[in-house]
Structure 1
Amino acid sequence: MRLASFNVQNMRLRADHLDGARDRDMPEDLGPAAPLLDDYDRALTAAVIGETNADIIALQEVFDQPTLDHFHDTCLRDAGIASYPYRICLPGNDGRGLDVALLSRIAPQAIQSHAHLTPAHLGLDAPEGLSPHTPLFRRDCLEITFPALTLFICHFKAPYPDAAATWPVRNLEARAVCALIKRRFETPAKENWLILGDLNQPRHEDLPATAPLTSGFAVDLVARLPAGSRWSYHDTMDDFYARPDAILASPALARRFPKARPELIRSGLPYEARLYHGPRLDTVGTHRPHASDHAALVLDLPGL
């Protein structure tokens, strides 16, 4: 089994046109010329997905099911890049409608959104100032069960504009994912599961908000890579690199695949991400066109 996780940066369908991979927070991403590059962006997004050659892909920042289907049909299938018969994008809690999603060649056995859950549902203490009846997840934790593996697809609260102020929210999301897995499995450490997605871990944090997940509960497979090669995201405005994207494995799965290390596909990143010196896709530009401001993570689990 080959899996991937990819934040596709603000993918939204408007009539028959997909928004490009842009946040509209820079002059280059605004104005009448900016939309002219949208189709190039999404062709590059599709090319990166094709490069993953993954059986199952966890996506972040997809607007809705029609967006996912349109992207699949026009940019992936009709372009001869890839075909995924199973596509899932359920409504989450993001105010802009950017949800987590799934593309799969393997039929899921069960699909469960947890967007409705509150701290009260799971018996968790809410941070000061947050109601125990507020939704736990800023987007969702989408639970997908396959015959040999259960996935938990996440996209945590962004650490902007103040990482310290958002720490309690991201920490609550991390605690909630732990609670869900403990609720699902009697002995989580012995089961096969993965947490995939954008956990929005900032560059510097003395105590990571994601510590409930990574301090003895799950195994951070990206940490198996050399320290200098773990980054998956480039911030254009402040020119820094971070590793918000994660694949966390259950202890049982990590033991079963001791040599499994994620691969980062950075070929769709813009040339302004100067730390990457490898090959890029043909139409990638200095800022745009690009596939996303994130790299894709790919993991092989042979025989699963």
Structure 2
Amino acid sequence: MSLRIATFNVENLMNRFDFSGFRNQLLQDRALSLFQIENEADYRHLERARMISHTDDARQLSALAIAAARADIICLQEVENIEALRAFEYGYLFKMVGHGYREKYLAKGNDMRGIEVAIMFRTETAYGEPIEFVSMQGHAHVTFEELGLYNEALAGVGEKPHDLVFRRDCVEVDLKVAGRPVTIYLVHFKSMGGARNGLPGRESTMPVRMAEAAAVRAIIEARFGPKAAQKRWAICGDLNDYRERIVVEGGIEGDWTFTPVTEDIRTSLDVLTEGGFCENVAERLAPLERWTLYHTRGPQERHLCQLDYVLVSGGWAQKNAARLPQIITRGQPWRTPFPPGQSPERWPRIGWDRPKASDHCPVVMELDVL
């Protein structure tokens, strides 16, 4: 008996309009910035029309990406609320997979934008085994001090001992699959952002991600004890971190080169995987196949990297040593350069930059529940 688990940063699954771009050009969509808009009332009309049109295409493509994963359980990031998730599943995903993801759960976390982690799952696996919800617990309330995580690195980036660890949450979801316990940890770590205080964005935000990873590990160890790595659990989500990347060089004509580079710094991923605590199953793929996002700030800064993870407990991963994950890339926009032999047939209506399924790719792993 096997179970397919996926994670997908669905990119701003919202059910509200944002009109702040009228007063702050940095928040204004580039399409509207091409036009002279005389007053806020006109801006609101145009923004509604733009957003509805863009969202319809994007969500059709997001649904195609989820359908392609064929997951029994899918963990999502950047979902505003349960109403948005229900509307998306009913209006878009249902048209592709039918009565699939009837069970949906979301917990309110700490994100200032209101983007949360969520989970959807089927009532039974593709093999007919029942999936039952047992319980869900959030950890958005925990502080650095409570978990003994406060240190000089956090102080150096302005964090205080009583500040909250998680920028969104770590949501612990207990399920039973054919009567056997499975625990999923839903996460979305702090984003890298831009440069701050003379430091690159990744460097200035790394202490928070390191603390988030240490907190997730501490939560699992407190739950399962000394033999935690041997239990049946997975950490799923967007870590906003990587320990290797594929440097992309070349031009728009397609004469790309792809060079794998391993980072020489300790990352939040290392905090979670060291000592065999869990495994990044994507590392079972070839180095040029492990990416889930294309990052670019122009020709001088372009790379593919993995930000999205299904991290499987060490013992569970060992019992599934022969299995490989799948990364769904067909929803990527045409501007994303693909390494040799990887150019997929993209879905209809994919644009140069948008519409797209998301800026991230879903990752899916099939695991025997032994």
Partners in 2 of 1:298 and 1:102 — Cα distance?
14
Q: Corresponding residue for 2:228? A: 188
The alpha-carbon deviation at position 133 of structure 1 amounts to 1.5
Q: Corresponding residue for 1:39? A: 56
Q: Corresponding residue for 1:77? A: 94
The alpha-carbon deviation at position 79 of structure 1 amounts to 5.3
Q: Corresponding residue for 1:146? A: 175
Partners in 2 of 1:72 and 1:91 — Cα distance?
19
**Kept in 2: contact 1:50–1:82 (CA 8 A):** no
Q: For residue 118 of structure 2, what is the amino acid of its counterpart? A: A
Of 347, 350, 354, 1:288 maps to: 354
Q: Provide the secondary structure at the position in 2 that maps to 1:46.
A: helix
The alpha-carbon deviation at position 84 of structure 1 amounts to 1.1
Q: Corresponding residue for 1:135? A: 164
**Kept in 2: contact 1:269–1:291 (CA 8 A):** yes
Q: Corresponding residue for 2:317? A: 254
Partners in 2 of 1:288 and 1:30 — Cα distance?
17
Residues 25 and 234 of structure 1, relative CA distance in 2, 3 Å threshold: farther
Q: For residue 122 of structure 1, what is the amino acid of its counterpart? A: L
Residues 245 and 79 of structure 1, relative CA distance in 2, 3 Å threshold: closer
Residues 194 and 24 of structure 1, relative CA distance in 2, 3 Å threshold: farther
Q: For residue 175 of structure 1, what is the amino acid of its counterpart? A: A
| 2:308 aligned with 1:245 | yes
Q: Corresponding residue for 2:76? A: 59
Residues 218 and 262 of structure 1, relative CA distance in 2, 3 Å threshold: same
The alpha-carbon deviation at position 236 of structure 1 amounts to 4.8
| 2:17 aligned with 1:11 | no
Residues 135 and 78 of structure 1, relative CA distance in 2, 3 Å threshold: same
Partners in 2 of 1:249 and 1:66 — Cα distance?
30
Q: Corresponding residue for 1:120? A: 145
The alpha-carbon deviation at position 226 of structure 1 amounts to 0.6
Partners in 2 of 1:247 and 1:49 — Cα distance?
15
The alpha-carbon deviation at position 100 of structure 1 amounts to 0.6
TM-score (norm 2): 0.75
What are structure 2's unaligned runs of at least 5 residues? 18-25, 35-45, 123-130, 195-200, 246-262
Residues 290 and 132 of structure 1, relative CA distance in 2, 3 Å threshold: same
Residue by residue over 1:52-88, the C-alpha shift from the partner in whole angstroms, topping out at 9 and shown as x without a partner, is 1111000011111111111111111255555211101
Residues 262 and 80 of structure 1, relative CA distance in 2, 3 Å threshold: closer
| Root-mean-square deviation (Å) | 2.1
Partners in 2 of 1:26 and 1:257 — Cα distance?
45
Comparing 64-73 and 177-186, the one that deviates more: 64-73
Partners in 1 of 2:33 and 2:309 — Cα distance?
30
Q: For residue 113 of structure 1, what is the amino acid of its counterpart? A: G
The alpha-carbon deviation at position 303 of structure 1 amounts to 4.5
Partners in 1 of 2:295 and 2:237 — Cα distance?
18
**Kept in 2: contact 1:60–1:99 (CA 8 A):** yes
Q: Corresponding residue for 2:293? A: 233
Identity of aligned residues (%): 35
Residues 14 and 205 of structure 1, relative CA distance in 2, 3 Å threshold: farther
Partners in 2 of 1:83 and 1:303 — Cα distance?
20
Q: For residue 219 of structure 1, what is the amino acid of its counterpart? A: E
Which protein shows a greater Rg?
Answer: 2
The alpha-carbon deviation at position 37 of structure 1 amounts to 2.1
TM-score (norm 1): 0.91
